[in-house]
A and B are shown apart, each in its own frame.
Chain A
Amino acid sequence: MQSELLIGLAGVIASASPIVIAAIGETLTEKSGMLNLSVNGIILLSAMSGFIAAYDTGNLIAGYLAGMLTGALIGWVLAFCTITLNQSQVAVGLVLAFLCRDLSYFLGNDFMGFNAPVLHSTPLPFLSEIPILGSLFFDQTPMVYLSLLSIPVSLVWINRTKFGLILRSVGERPEAAFARGINVNKVRYLYTILGSALVGLAGPIYSLGLKPGWKGSMTGLDGIGWIVLAITIFGGWNPFRVALGAYLFELLRWLGLVYQIKLTGVPSQVLQVAPFPLMILTLMFVNMKNAEWFESFISLLPPPIYRFFSLKGKRRKAAPSSLGIPFRNV
């Protein structure tokens, strides 16, 4: 019984890995003040392109690279249209989301149901023999290790390096960053492309591992991108919380599967989609803290309680101040 639970939880960690990577990519993009709404499309398109690349070459690495390249390309299109051509980030992001989705179904049509190489788990020597933790974290595929690694790396990158500081400054107050000699739009270009490349890596993780192959609209990836966006935003642009959100989401999905048998009253189809609304609703209520009425409401409470809830002077969960706002130097 206990080992079943362990296997289940290890599965949660594995199936959350693409979401973790994509959400961290989107976090990086949004930290620079750019909103990339095309995540859902990028994941689908890169899942398709990564699968075809791996199928054609028989090489997994080629698949992952193709996925990242696809993402980077879409990221560049977004940055070009919004920064250079000054179009709305929301409009371009949405169009790209729809375009990439349909493009993936269209181009992937010929490759439906083919078998591509699949990434197998590689237990890490010694570490995988640690009881419980070993089978949870260290008996996984390299991509899962990468997703686990991406959390501390992005945290260190954002908070402990010069480049992370530049990234945060651009997203918070671009005009002040400019006054300190930072090329704001170049930074935004870079992080939009980098973030989208990470989102693009999530695609092949699905199509070459978790859900091997390409099955068009039956692949079941449509919608994941919106979850990624929601997790990024409601996770407060903090890689650690964002990753936590991803694990929570997959945990819900797993529970849905487990209880499918026990909860006979609820149709299984509902249990399968339930984690999506559940996740988003949860995150939405968490986000309510940012509303003005919340602040004015808790200011009526006694000071210690007020200080506990108040976001003033903490701002940990607040959006990068310039998110979605273009920067032009006159």
Chain B
Amino acid sequence: MVAKPKKNNMLKRLSSPAILSIASTAGALIFTSLILWMAGAQPGLTFQKILIGAFGDSVKIANGLVVWAPLSLIAGALIITFIAGLWNLGIEGQIMLGAIFTTGAMRLFENSSISPTLIIILSCLVGMVGGAFWAALTGILRLYGGVNEIFAGVGLNFVATALSLWLIFGPWKRPGVGSMSGTEPFNERLWLVQIPGYRLSIWSLILVVVVYIGLFILLKKTRFGIQIKAIGKNLEAARLMGIQTRKLMMLAMLLCGALAGLAGALQVVGVYHRLIPSISSGYGFLAMLVAMLANNDFFLTLVVAYLFSILNIGGIQLPINLHLDSTLSGVLQAVLVLFFLVMNGLKQRLMGRKERSRDAE
């Protein structure tokens, strides 16, 4: 290729991902400091407390990982649909259905003679089916029902919430009276093995690694991965190339749902050991921010997911220490993504003028 003029090089360097993320982070920190100042808190002290809250002792570090595992799983699941150009907002419902199906399976097998390990594995698989089933509903509504996947997803989220509430207060209620604390906890032998002294299970970490390796291979090394990328980037061109767009979009939804279901299953068997009303803990939407900020890159997703988990855990102590609400972490997370989008837009505007003259050819 011909050597490019220097100015273009400068622009390219300015817009490189590293600079972009540093600029977004700086912008987000400044904005959040402003918010803190508005709330009458000292920004420096607050950030310090968040860090202490996240890394203060080994339990806290482990708790960060407890959040990181499901968050990474869900963000990984969302990457599949994002790459296929689908806004899968029904992710929350898919997590919940995973949890519901898993709980159902556990309750079914609880008193049987099957070995506990097998019960856990089976229940997780059932959970994956549950998540995939919920995602399939969204997919059918989008591809055959003329309902946009955003609204189908949001609607099904509400249905999933109602369903889990009904189960908790109805058929699966605790002996006596149902309560917001959830269903009766399972027998301890059916809990996912945890590292002694911590809430963390090594299995969920291993699962994340396995899933990510699988996802990496699926999306980078297989025809399926390249085809859904084509669909997401240019649906019409993909169709003209003879790619079976509907089938693949549906498959992407199913895969995403299954992984989200798995995350829900892990929350049941590994963390809460029962079904609780808000079993998804909002991780679905949070993972959406993670995937957006990481720009669908796997390694970055794991990093961003960890960053977001730290913020979540670090924020827990804020009400006690500084009388600040813990949602500060949520603000910081969302602001990061917003600034990332703004910076991205600014970059495109800077580069855009050159592009436009070339497009006209």
Contact = CB atoms under 8 A, between A and B. Distances in A.
In the complex, A touching B (Cβ < 8 A): yes
Interface of A: 37, 77, 81, 84-87, 90-92, 94-96, 98-99, 101-103, 105-110, 216, 223, 226, 229-230, 233, 266-270, 273-274, 276-277, 280-281, 283-284, 287-288, 290-294, 330
A110 B170 contact: no
Contact of B162 (A110, A216, A273, A291): A273
Given A109-B39, A109-B324, A292-B146, A233 B166 contact: no
B155 A87 contact: no
B345 A91 contact: no
A98 B289 contact: yes
B299 interface: no
Contacts of B327: 102-103, 105-106, 109
Grouping DSSP codes into helix (H, G, I), strand (E, B) and loop, the B interface class, with mixed when no group exceeds half, is: helix
Contact of B345 (A87, A274, A276, A290): A87
B206 interface: no
B342 A216 contact: no
A216 to B, nearest CB: 7
B241 interface: no
B234 interface: no
Interface residues of B, number: 59
The 8 residue pairs across chains A and B that have the minimum distance between CB atoms = A85-B345, A102-B330, A267-B169, A291-B146, A280-B155, A99-B334, A109-B325, A277-B159
Contacts of B141: 284
B341 A91 contact: yes
Contact of A291 (B145, B331, B344): B145
Nearest to B338: A95
B259 interface: no
Contacts of B337: 95
B356 interface: yes
A250 B38 CA distance: 36
A10 to B, nearest CB: 27
B35 interface: yes
A85 B349 contact: yes
A181 B337 CA distance: 36
B35 A107 contact: yes
B83 to A, nearest CB: 14
Contacts of B89: 94
B35 A98 contact: no
Contact of B334 (A85, A95, A109, A216): A95
A87 B347 CA distance: 11
Interface in B265-315: 277, 285, 288-289, 292
B328 interface: yes
A273 B163 CA distance: 10
A235 to B, nearest CB: 12
Contact of A110 (B39, B292, B359): B39
B147 A284 contact: yes
6 contacts: A109-B319, A226-B158, A229-B154, A267-B173, A288-B145, A330-B360
The residue among B39, B148, B158 with the most chain A CB atoms within 10 A of its own CB is B158
B161 interface: yes
B158 A103 contact: no
Contacts of A268: 169
B158 A99 contact: no
B325 A106 contact: yes
Given A105-B325, A267-B165, A277 B331 contact: no
Contacts of A287: 145-147
The residue among B173, B178, B180, B331 with the most chain A CB atoms within 10 A of its own CB is B331
A95 B330 CA distance: 11
B40 interface: yes
Nearest to A226: B154
Contacts of B173: 267
B348 A106 contact: no
Interface string B114-145: 00000000000000000000000000010011
Given A86-B348, A107-B35, A266 B144 contact: no
B281 to A, nearest CB: 13
B158 A216 contact: no
Contact of A85 (B87, B285, B342): B342
